[in-house]
Amino acid sequence: MKLAVYPGSFDPVTHAHLDVLKRGLKIFDRIIVAVGEHYAKSYLFPQEERVAMIREAVKGMPVEVKHFKGLLIDFAAKEKANAILRGLRAVSDFDSEFQMAITNRKFNPEIETVFIMTRGMYSYLSSSVVKEVASLGGKLEGMVPQNVENKLRERFV
């Protein structure tokens, strides 16, 4: 069975994330969405809430949602993953993603990193953009699943 880990902070999960996930399922039998914590980031939603929002958004898909701490490559190895799945929006994403992929390969050459380019319709979309639009009362249609939109509206009332 081909298993990938799709890591991120997902604060919150967007349609761009879900698009990469759905397209990743054409390559992998199963994917674990790995919701991480980064020491240098502050989050709008706590980790448990991000996990719950993703779980609701991926109902019916062969996807598991877990949180992790520490090195991603260690988490992927513990889960017996074959690969790490990453989405790329623009050339600007590539430099840091390339560095992470090479670093992960140094620690565990058995786990590959697979990149999926975001569809053009989502190339502008990030969790940061979604939070800014939501905080200013803008329309979130086409940006996030309904359950996430509801949570954002609650947060910014």
Indicate which residues carry an active-site annotation: 17, 41, 89, 127
Q: Tokens standing for 3?
A: 């298993």
Chain-centre distance for alpha carbon 78? 19
- Residue 80, C-beta contacts closer than 8 angstroms, at least 6 positions apart: 3
Report the phi/psi class of residue 142: left, alpha or beta, with left for phi > 0 and alpha for psi in -120 to 50.
left
